[in-house]
Chains A and B, each alone.
Chain A
Amino acid sequence: MTTKVFSIPRPIHPTGLWGWITTIDHKRIGLLYGVTAFILFIIGGIEALLMRVQLTRSELDIISPEVYNQLFTMHGTTMIFLVIMPMGAAFFNYVIPLQIGARDVAFPRLNAFSYWTFLAGALMLNLSWFLGGAPNAGWFGYAPLTGETVNPATGIDFWIISLQILGVASLAAAFNFIVTIINMRAPGMSLMRMPLFTWMTLVTAILLVLAFPVITVALIELFFDRSYGTNFFVVAKGANPILWQHLFWVFGHPEVYILILPAMGIVSEILPTFSKKPLFGYPAVVLAGVIIAFMGWMVWSHHMFTVGLGPIPNTVFAITTMAIAVPTGIKIFNWLGTIWQGSIDLRTPMLFALGFISLFTMGGVSGVMHAIAPSDAQQQDTYFVVAHFHYVLFSGALMALMGGIYYWFPKFTGRMYNETLGKTHFWMMFVAQNITFFPMHFTGMDGMPRRIYTYASGMGWDFWNEVSTAGAFLLAISFVIFIFNIVKSWRNGDQASGDPWDARTLEWSISSPPPEFNFVEIPTVRERDDWWDRKRQHSEEIVPAGEIPVDEEHSIHLPQPSYWPIVVSIGLLTLGYGAIYSIPVGVMGAVIGTIGVYAWSFEPVNEPY
C-alpha cells in the first residue's frame, strides 16, 4: 500500500511512456539527457551551418543581419548550455553511480527534476524562435545592448528566463552529485581510489554550485531593468554597464572549466584502458584538476582586456591567465606519460581521446596568446578568438564527449557499435574540424571581426571563409555517419559483454546494460582501478556478469518512481512563461510548483513493496 498524496497513488513499476516520465533511475535519466542533448546539438549545428552559408563569400544576402544575430546567439547559448553541459550530465548520471559502486544517486527524484527542468529550459529558449524572435545579443548578453530601450523585443527575456531555469537544473544536479560522490562510495573507495572521471565530476559540481548563483544575480538584475525599470545598467542614472561584464565573466570563466573538466575526465578514463596502463601520475592529474578549478576564479577579466580596466588589472589578469596553463600542461604531460610504452589499442574511443589531446592543446596555445593583454588587443572580437574556443570546445570538449559515447556505448546499450563506421566518423570529423576552424586563425589575424553577417569584397577574407564553410558541411556529413552507426548498432549491433574493452573501473564489472539495481552486491574496493586488479590478481572472486542469480533482486530496495519532479518542472516552466507575458500565468506556475514540492516532501523515498 503506497502513500497517497492528494489521493494520487504513487506509480509502481510503470511501463512505456509513463515509465520514462516518472523514472528516477539514474541510467534512464542519463539516456534522456544524452538523447535530448544530441537533438539540440543538431539544432545548434543547423544554426551554425546557416551562418557558414551566409559567410561563405563576401556581401552575400542569404540571411538578414537581424536573423544572423539571432543565429549566433542561439548557436552559442545552445551549444554551451543545451549540448556540452547536458552531455556531460548524461555521463555523470549514467556512469558515476556505477564507478563508485552505488545503486543510484543520493537524491533520485531531484535527479529526475534536474532533467525535466533542463528540458523545460531548452523548450523555453527555442520557443523564442516562434514567439517574436530569438535573443540576438550574443550568448554573453552584454548590457546595455540587452536593455529594453534598444532591445524591447521578448527575445532577450526568453534568454534570461531560460538561463534561469537551466541554472536551477544545473544547480540541482550539482548538489546531487556532490553528495553522491562524497557520501555513497563503495567500502574501501577512498577519494584517491576514485576513477578520474568521478573526481572531475566532483570538481565540476563544486564549480557549478559556486558559479551559477553569480549569473543568476546578473540575470535577475538585467530582467529587473527590462521589466521593472530598475537602474542596474542604466547609464543615465549613473550605472556602469561594465558591471554586467564582470558578473557575467565571474560566472563565465568557471563555466568554461565546467565544460572542459568532465571531458578531461573522460579522456583520463579512455587513455589508460586503451593503453593497458594505469593513468600516469594519478595524484598529479587530480591535483591539477583541483588547481584549475581554484585558479579559474582568478582570471575572468581576461575577457575584458579591451574594455579599459587599466594597466594594473590587465597585468594581474594576464599573469593569472598564463599561470593557469601550467596545471593544464601537467594533465597533458600525464596523459602522454600514460600512453608512453603502453599497449596501444587504436579503436574509436582511443582515436577521439588522442584527437582531443592534440587539438585541445592547439586551442590552449591560442589561449595563451590571448592571455598576453597587448596581443589580445588585436585578437579580441576577431575570428582568432572564434578559432580558439572552437578548438577547445569542439575539438576539445565535444571530441572527448564523442569518445565517451563510443567508449560507454556497449555499457549503456548492451551492443557494440560498428568499428569501421566509428573510425570513418572520427577521421572525417578530425579532418573536417581542422578545415573549418583552422583558417579562422588567419582571418582573425587579418582583422575579420566576430558577429558580422557579411564583409566587404575587398577584405581578402573570401577564400578562407569558403574553406571553412566546406569544412562545416563535411563535419555535418561525419555526424550523419555517426547517427547512422548509433541507431543501427543500438538496434542490431553485436551483443556486448560486460567488459568489452578489458577495462579498469567498476562499471565494467557488471553486465551491459546493467541490471536496474546495478550491483548484486556492493563491491569492496581494495585498490585504484579495482576491477583491473581483481581480474589480474583475484580472478577466482569474479562471478561472470550475466550469471547473477535472479532471486537476489528481491532483497534489494530501490527508490520508487515519482510524478512530482516533472510536476515541479512544469510549474517552473509556467512560472517562467508568466514572468514574460502574464502575471496570472506566472502565479499559476508558482502554485503548481509549490503543490509539487509539498507532495514531493510528503512522499517517502522508498515505499515498502
Chain B
Amino acid sequence: MAQASSHETEHESTTTGLNHRKMLMWAFLGSDCMFFGSLIATYLVYKGSSLSGPLPIDVFDIPTTSVSTFVLLMSSMSMVLSYAALRRGRMKAFRIWLLSTIILGATFLAFQVFEFRTFANHEVHIDCGHVVMEELTDLEKIVAEKCGQGVEEIEETIGLTPRTNLFGTTFFTLTGFHGAHVSLGVLWLLSLLFLSFRKGGITPAKHLDVDLAALYWHFVDIVWIIIFTVVYLFGVFEGF
C-alpha cells in the first residue's frame, strides 16, 4: 500500500490551525448559497403565475434531465477520486480522474445547451383525429382549438425563451447561472490539468490547489441536486 499519506488536516500556523484559502472557500460557498437562494426564491415565487405557456409540463423531459443529473453526480465522484489519488501521490490516476471530471462536466453543459435549444423550439403536435381533451395541457388545448373542418394535424412552434413568460424568465436565469458556475468550474479544472503537466505544477504537497477547486465543483453539484428536485420534479405542480 502506498506510503502513509497525511489525510488528517495539516496544522497551519494560523490561529485556528486551518488554512486561510480553505476558510475563504467555505465562506464563499456560504455566500453563494445566498446567491442561488435568491434565484430559487424568485423562481418559486413566480411558479404558477405565468399568464401563458409553455409551462414546465409542456417542456420538461425528466428522463433526459435525469441522465444529465446522473452525469453531474458522477463528476463529483470522479473529482473526489482525483483528489484522493493526488493525496496518495498517484499522479497518473489523478490526471485521469481529473480529465473524467472535466469530460463529465462538459457533457452536463452539452445537455443543458441541448435542453435550452429544445425548449426554445418547442413544438406542439395535435392529431385532430385522435384528440382527447382531458389529456392535453393548457397550451396544447389552445393549439387544438385550431382543429376544425378539414384540419387533420397541427404543428406549431411555441418556444420557451427568457422572454416568453415568467417561467421562461426565471427558469433560464436560474439554470443559466448554474451553468455559468459549471463552466467556470470546467475552466478551473482544465487549468489545473494543464498545470499538472508542468514540472512541479501540481504535487501532493500542493494538494490544496485541487481541494479548493473540488469544493467549488461539489457545491455546484449540490445546487443542481436542489434545482433538479425543486424545478424539474416539482414542475408537475402548477403552483403550490
> Across the interface, do B14 and A237 meet the contact criterion of CB distance under 8 Å?
no
> Across the interface, do A218 and B38 meet the contact criterion of CB distance under 8 Å?
yes
The 4 closest A-B pairs by CB, nearest first: A217-B38, A213-B35, A213-B34, A209-B31
- Cβ of A385 to closest chain B Cβ, rounded Å: 26
- Cβ of A4 to closest chain B Cβ, rounded Å: 15
Other-chain residue from A171, A183, A213, A238 in contact with B38 (beta carbon distance below 8 A): A213
Instruction: Provide the B158-195 mask, 1 if CB < 8 A to any CB of A, else 0.
Output: 00001101101110010001000000000000010000
Contact residues in B for A212 (Cβ distance below 8 Å): 31
Instruction: Provide the B31-46 mask, 1 if CB < 8 A to any CB of A, else 0.
Output: 1101101110110011
Task: Give residues 222-253 of A contacting B (CB, 8 Å).
Answer: 224, 228-232, 237-240, 243, 247, 250
Interface of A, helix, strand, loop or mixed by DSSP: helix
- Cβ of A371 to closest chain B Cβ, rounded Å: 25
CA distance A45 to B42 in the complex (A): 37
16 sampled A-B residue pairs with Cβ under 8 A: A175-B31, A179-B20, A182-B15, A209-B27, A209-B30, A210-B30, A213-B31, A213-B32, A213-B34, A217-B35, A217-B38, A218-B38, A228-B162, A231-B162, A232-B169, A243-B45
Task: Give residues 41-96 of B contacting A (CB, 8 Å).
Answer: 41-42, 45-46, 49-51
Say yes or no for B149: interface residue by CB 8 A criterion: no
- Cβ of B231 to closest chain A Cβ, rounded Å: 16
Contact residues in A for B165 (Cβ distance below 8 Å): 231, 237-238
> Across the interface, do A247 and B15 meet the contact criterion of CB distance under 8 Å?
no
Contact residues in B for A230 (Cβ distance below 8 Å): 162-163, 169, 173
> Across the interface, do A182 and B16 meet the contact criterion of CB distance under 8 Å?
yes
What is the size, in residues, of chain B's interface with A at 8 Å between Cβ atoms? 34
> Across the interface, do B16 and A214 meet the contact criterion of CB distance under 8 Å?
no
Task: Give residues 185-218 of A contacting B (CB, 8 Å).
Answer: 185, 189, 209-214, 216-218
CA distance A189 to B42 in the complex (A): 43
CA distance A212 to B46 in the complex (A): 22
Contact residues in A for B16 (Cβ distance below 8 Å): 182-183
- Cβ of A494 to closest chain B Cβ, rounded Å: 38
The closest CB in chain B to the CB of A598 belongs to: B191
What is the size, in residues, of chain A's interface with B at 8 Å between Cβ atoms? 36
CA distance A247 to B50 in the complex (A): 20
CA distance A232 to B49 in the complex (A): 11
Say yes or no for A220: interface residue by CB 8 A criterion: yes
The closest CB in chain B to the CB of A181 belongs to: B15
Among A178, A184, A213: residue with most chain B CB under 10 A:
A213
> Across the interface, do B20 and A175 meet the contact criterion of CB distance under 8 Å?
no
Say yes or no for A106: interface residue by CB 8 A criterion: yes
Say yes or no for A300: interface residue by CB 8 A criterion: no
Say yes or no for B28: interface residue by CB 8 A criterion: yes
Say yes or no for B24: interface residue by CB 8 A criterion: yes
Instruction: Provide the B134-175 mask, 1 if CB < 8 A to any CB of A, else 0.
Output: 000000000000000000000000000011011011100100
Other-chain residue from B23, B37, B51, B191 in contact with A179 (beta carbon distance below 8 A): B23
> Across the interface, do B14 and A214 meet the contact criterion of CB distance under 8 Å?
no
Other-chain residue from B20, B39, B50 in contact with A238 (beta carbon distance below 8 A): B50
The closest CB in chain A to the CB of B195 belongs to: A602
Say yes or no for A527: interface residue by CB 8 A criterion: no
Q: A210-B34, A243-B42 are in contact. Are A238 and B166 (CB under 8 A)?
A: yes
- Cβ of B74 to closest chain A Cβ, rounded Å: 28
CA distance A556 to B170 in the complex (A): 53
Contact residues in B for A228 (Cβ distance below 8 Å): 162-163
- Cβ of A522 to closest chain B Cβ, rounded Å: 11
Q: A230-B173, A231-B163, A238-B50 are in contact. Are A175 and B24 (CB under 8 A)?
A: yes
Q: A209-B30, A228-B163, A231-B166 are in contact. Are A220 and B24 (CB under 8 A)?
A: no
The closest CB in chain B to the CB of A183 belongs to: B14
CA distance A211 to B165 in the complex (A): 28
Contact residues in B for A243 (Cβ distance below 8 Å): 42, 45-46
> Across the interface, do A178 and B27 meet the contact criterion of CB distance under 8 Å?
yes
CA distance A598 to B191 in the complex (A): 9
CA distance A182 to B26 in the complex (A): 13
Contact residues in A for B18 (Cβ distance below 8 Å): 183
Interface of B, helix, strand, loop or mixed by DSSP: helix
CA distance A380 to B162 in the complex (A): 36
Say yes or no for A533: interface residue by CB 8 A criterion: no
The closest CB in chain A to the CB of B34 belongs to: A213
> Across the interface, do B42 and A232 meet the contact criterion of CB distance under 8 Å?
yes
Say yes or no for A41: interface residue by CB 8 A criterion: no
CA distance A212 to B35 in the complex (A): 8
Other-chain residue from B30, B34, B166 in contact with A214 (beta carbon distance below 8 A): B34
> Across the interface, do B51 and A237 meet the contact criterion of CB distance under 8 Å?
yes
- Cβ of B137 to closest chain A Cβ, rounded Å: 18
- Cβ of B25 to closest chain A Cβ, rounded Å: 9
Other-chain residue from B15, B32, B168, B177 in contact with A184 (beta carbon distance below 8 A): B15
- Cβ of B196 to closest chain A Cβ, rounded Å: 14
CA distance A175 to B51 in the complex (A): 42
Contact residues in B for A466 (Cβ distance below 8 Å): none
Q: A238-B165, A247-B38 are in contact. Are A107 and B24 (CB under 8 A)?
A: yes
- Cβ of A193 to closest chain B Cβ, rounded Å: 12
- Cβ of B223 to closest chain A Cβ, rounded Å: 13
Instruction: Provide the A273-302 mask, 1 if CB < 8 A to any CB of B, else 0.
Output: 000000000000000000000000000000
> Across the interface, do A221 and B14 meet the contact criterion of CB distance under 8 Å?
no
Contact residues in A for B169 (Cβ distance below 8 Å): 224, 230-232, 237
Contact residues in B for A171 (Cβ distance below 8 Å): 31
- Cβ of A222 to closest chain B Cβ, rounded Å: 12
> Across the interface, do A229 and B35 meet the contact criterion of CB distance under 8 Å?
no
Among B14, B15, B23, B46: residue with most chain A CB under 10 A:
B15
- Cβ of A352 to closest chain B Cβ, rounded Å: 32
> Across the interface, do A183 and B34 meet the contact criterion of CB distance under 8 Å?
no
Known: A183-B23, A237-B50. 14 other contacts (CB 8 A): A106-B20, A107-B20, A175-B27, A178-B23, A179-B27, A182-B15, A210-B31, A213-B37, A220-B173, A231-B168, A237-B51, A239-B166, A243-B42, A250-B38
- Cβ of B80 to closest chain A Cβ, rounded Å: 23
The closest CB in chain A to the CB of B48 belongs to: A238
- Cβ of A40 to closest chain B Cβ, rounded Å: 26
- Cβ of A8 to closest chain B Cβ, rounded Å: 19
The closest CB in chain A to the CB of B162 belongs to: A230
The closest CB in chain B to the CB of A209 belongs to: B31
Contact residues in A for B49 (Cβ distance below 8 Å): 238-240
Q: A179-B23, A217-B42, A243-B42 are in contact. Are A224 and B162 (CB under 8 A)?
A: yes
> Across the interface, do B20 and A183 meet the contact criterion of CB distance under 8 Å?
yes
- Cβ of A539 to closest chain B Cβ, rounded Å: 28
CA distance A239 to B163 in the complex (A): 12
